């Protein structure tokens, strides 16, 4: 809940500030009463939140728009946003000031409000897309310069990949498999975000998700994330069958431990993860096929799990993973079948 409310509170406060500045910059000095400043602040907050809500709606429901050429998408977004802001500004003028629309307001303020709203949408959209691209926690760390020098952090890592992608490529063709992967990654994004995960990277048919270990505490959000992905794919099964003739399945490995994180590159910077924890998680996920289990966790991760009666944890013993000298304890995890 707090995660969802934070951007709303920040944007509302930002809108209040912009509304006050708009009143100061564009309105006549004899209209600068406290009541009018309060109205302008409320106006600014409401329009800012409407811009934000419109962007979220287009991000969640506008898949058709993102499939268009970039220039078409940008023009369409601008037209949609301008139309919504125009309606909102008109309604707010009537509600907040208690009178009908005046020709002076339409002439002097209406188009300025739309222009300011469109300008405000640029930084809001940019920050939102950056958060979607690299994650809010990582973005803040980059802004503060946390990863300019290598930093060791305790992390929970999830490696999850599509089952049988090579076979699918042979039967469907590489372009159709890539379309399937794109849809698969799109559909699993909402469960990842809603469970506090941040996508670190997409590597071929695999996605790497991470959580700060100290942030998960005694929760099992990383397991619930995997289960939510299962539910999401099951819900979309008919769509996948109709579109691709197959319902995607996945294998996943989860491990916890220290990770070295640092900024790499110059012309194209990115955050890179290094260390044994990364290697173990990758090998753990690959071991799912040999073990015949869709979800494996390490002993280190098992110790983080709180007692829970609705999951079944099956010990698979100590195993030496490929490419690693030391063996680790491996557990299979699944939801308990409802009786």
Report strand pairing: 198-203 vs 270-274: unpaired
pTM higher than the cut 0.75:
no
Q: Are 222 and 163 in contact (CB under 8 A)?
A: no
Nearest-CA neighbor of 291 among 332, 245, 237? 332
Residues in the chain: 339
Nearest-CA neighbor of 211 among 147, 137, 261, 160? 137
**Consecutive 10-residue averages of pLDDT for the chain (339 residues):** 68 87 76 80 88 79 70 80 87 82 79 82 74 70 82 93 86 88 90 88 91 74 92 94 92 94 78 90 91 92 81 85 78 80
Q: What is the 3-state secondary structure (H, E, C) of the chain?
A: CHHHHHHHHHHHHHHHHHHHHHHHHHCCHHHCCHHHHHHHHHHHHHHHHHHHHHHHHHHHHCHHHHCCCHHHHHHHHHHHHHHHHHHHHHHHHHHHHCCCCCHHHHHHHHHHHHHHHHHHHHHHHHHHHHHHHHCHHHHHHHHCCCCCCCEEEEEEEEEEEECCHHHHHHHHCHHHHHHHHHHHHHHHHHHHHHCCCEEEEEECCEEEEEEEHHHHCCCCHHHHHHHHHHHHHHHCHHHHHHHHCCCCCEEEEEEEEEEEEEEECCCCCEEEEECHHHHHHHHHHHHHHHHCCCEEEEHHHHCCCCCCCCEEEEEEEEECCCCCCCCEEEEEEEECCCC
- Hey, what domains does the chain have and what are their CATH numbers? 2-134 (no CATH), 147-335 (3.30.70.1230)
b (16+ CB within 10 A) / e for 62-95:
beeeeeeeeeebeeebeebbbebbeebbeebbee
């Amino acid at each position: 809940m707090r995660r969802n409310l934070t951007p709303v509170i920040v944007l509302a406060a930002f809108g209040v500030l912009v509304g006050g500045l708009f009143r100061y910059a564009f309105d006549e000095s004899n209209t600068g009463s406290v009541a009018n400043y309060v109205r302008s602040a409320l106006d600014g907050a409401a329009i800012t939140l409407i811009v934000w809500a419109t962007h979220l709606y287009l991000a969640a429901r506008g898949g058709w728009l993102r499939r268009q050429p970039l220039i078409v998408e940008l023009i369409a977004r601008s037209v949609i946003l301008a139309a919504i802001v125009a309606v909102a500004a008109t309604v707010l003028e009537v509600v907040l000031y208690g009178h009908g629309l005046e020709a002076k307001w339409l002439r002097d303020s209406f188009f300025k409000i739309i222009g300011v709203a469109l300008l405000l949408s640029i930084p809001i959209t940019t920050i939102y897309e950056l958060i979607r691209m690299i994650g809010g926690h990582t973005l803040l760390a980059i802004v503060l310069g946390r990863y300019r020098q290598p930093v060791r952090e305790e992390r929970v890592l999830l490696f999850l990949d599509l089952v049988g992608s090579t076979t699918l490529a042979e039967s469907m063709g590489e372009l159709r498999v890539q379309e399937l992967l794109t849809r698969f990654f799109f559909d699993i994004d909402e469960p990842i975000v809603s469970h506090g995960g941040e996508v670190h990277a997409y590597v071929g048919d695999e996605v790497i998700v991470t959580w700060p270990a100290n942030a998960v505490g005694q929760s099992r959000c990383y397991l619930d994330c995997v289960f939510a992905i299962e539910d999401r794919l099951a819900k979309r099964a008919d769509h996948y069958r109709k579109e691709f003739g197959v319902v995607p399945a996945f294998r996943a490995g989860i491990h916890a431990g220290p990770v070295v994180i640092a900024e790499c590159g110059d012309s194209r910077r990115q955050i890179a993860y290094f260390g044994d924890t990364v290697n173990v998680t990758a090998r753990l996920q690959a071991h799912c096929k040999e073990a015949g289990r869709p979800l494996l966790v390490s002993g280190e991760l098992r110790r983080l799990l709180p007692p829970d009666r609705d999951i079944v944890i099956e010990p698979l013993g100590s195993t030496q993973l490929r490419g690693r000298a030391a063996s680790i304890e491996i557990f299979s995890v699944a939801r308990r079948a409802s009786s």
